[in-house]
Amino acid sequence: MAIVDRVGGSVLSSLEFVGALATFGGRAIVSAFRPPYEVGEIVRHLYQFGLRSMPLILTSGFAIGVVLSMHTRATLARFGAEAMIPAGLAVALVRETGPLTAGLLVSGRVGAGIGAEIGAMRVTEQIDALEANAVDAFKFLAVTRVIACMIAMPLLTVMMDFAGIVGGFTAETAVSGMSWQLYFERSFLYLEFSDLIPATLKTVVFGFLIASVASYLGFTTSRGTEGVGEASTRSVVMASILIILSDVILVKIIFFFYPQVPA
């Protein structure tokens, strides 16, 4: 019975969490369209989430490109299809590897930051202070972060894709001495608009999820400094899970609109 109670309880609390999160996210979307728009805050967060994430994203993207290139080379060389390496790598990067990896990296870097920052503001009464100053703390803190994250995500993804292609080129040119121009040209051999656009835009959803989850957990922080740490950790965990789960749905939706026929 105890087990049933506990399972039931955890199911219930999970549902509660999802419900609260959905409400929170919905509220964020609605209030994003109402003034004031807090442009200054959005710019500040864009700086934090975007520009400050670039070193992480570019380095990781480059490394992933190198690794993917080495793997695809091993496979494609077996069929004598080395000429397909750039195209295969670019398709893999643009369609999935780039968006998903960028999403997970950002959920680690930015999600943790948001969770901790808002959590700390909660426990040090800064959120109350905002409210006391007649500022909509939800909007000022959460909505601006959600918007900034939604803007930063696709841009970071494109950078990751590009860094990956550069990484792939570096690995390729080391082996075969292929020129950058040819490599870059070939990278786009099999890419379609329907690969680049939906895959890049779906990261807007990732951005929304990261910032919403982290903000929500930050806002609901209690129990002082310990609670801040927990908000930070849970932000990363929850955001990562939600990114991967939502990716399944998003890919399905993309396939619905752009059916993938095997060549």
Partner 1 sequence: MATPARLAGVGVFVIAGLALFTLGLFMIGDRQMAFAKKFTIYAEFAKITGLQPGAIIRVSGAKAGTVKEIIPPLRPTDKFKVRLEITEDLHPLVRTDSLATIETEGLVGGSFLGISTGSEQAPPAPENSTIAGKEPFAIADLLQQTSETIKKVNETIDDLKGDVQDAVQSISETVDNASQLIDDVSDDVKTMASAGARITQDAADIADSIRNGEGTIGKLVKDDELYRQATAIAKNAEQIARDAREVVEEAKKALNDLQSKNGPVQGLASNFKQTMDDARNAMSGFAENMEALKRNFLFRGFFNNRGYFNLEDISPAQYRQGVLTKDGKRGVVRIWLGAPVLFEPDPDDADGERLTDAGKMRLDSAIEPYLPHLGDSVLVVEGYAQKGTKDEQFLRSHARASAARSYLIGKFHLNPQTIAVMPLGSDSADSPNNTPWDGVALAAFIDRTALATPRK
Partner 2 sequence: MSKSFGGLKVLDDITFEISKAKAFVLLGRSGTGKSVTLKHIIGLVRPDKGHVFVDGREITQLDARALSDVRKHMGFLFQSAALFDSMTVGDNVAFPLRRHTDLPDKEIRERAKQKLADVGLEREFDKMPAELSGGMKKRAALARAMALDPAILLVDEPSAGLDPITASEIDELLVQRKHSGATIVVVTHNIPSARAIGDELAVLHEGHIIAQGTAGDLDRSDDPLVKTFMRSEAGG
191-196: long-range pairs with CB below 8 Å, 24+: 191/87, 191/90, 191/91, 191/94, 192/258, 194/254, 194/258, 195/91, 195/94, 195/95, 196/94
* Closest to partner 2 by CB, 38 or 247: 38
Cα–Cα distance for residue pair 178/185, rounded to 1 Å: 11
Q: Does 77 bind partner 1 (CB under 8 A)?
A: no
Cα–Cα distance for residue pair 217/14, rounded to 1 Å: 14
Specify the length of the chain in residues.
263
Cα–Cα distance for residue pair 83/9, rounded to 1 Å: 56
Q: Does 67 bind partner 2 (CB under 8 A)?
A: no
Interface pick for partner 1 out of 1, 3, 79, 133 (rule CB under 8 A) = 79
Q: In angstroms, what is the minimal distance from the CB of 127 to partner 2? A: 8
Q: Does 220 bind partner 2 (CB under 8 A)?
A: no
Per the structure block, which two tokens stand in for 88? 């295969």
Stretches 19-27, 28-36, 187-195, 234-242: which one binds partner 1 (CB under 8 A)? 187-195
Chosen from partner 1, partner 2, none, partner binding at 135 (C-beta under 5 to 8 Å by type):
partner 2
Interface pick for partner 1 out of 11, 30, 51, 241 (rule CB under 8 A) = 51
Stretches 120-128, 144-152, 177-185, 232-240: which one binds partner 2 (CB under 8 A)? 120-128
Q: Which helix (H) or strand (E) holds 218?
A: helix 193-219
Per CB under 8 A, which of residues 141..180 are in contact with partner 1? 151-152, 154-156, 158-159, 161-162
Interface residues with partner 2 (CB under 8 A)? 44, 117, 120-121, 124-126, 128-136
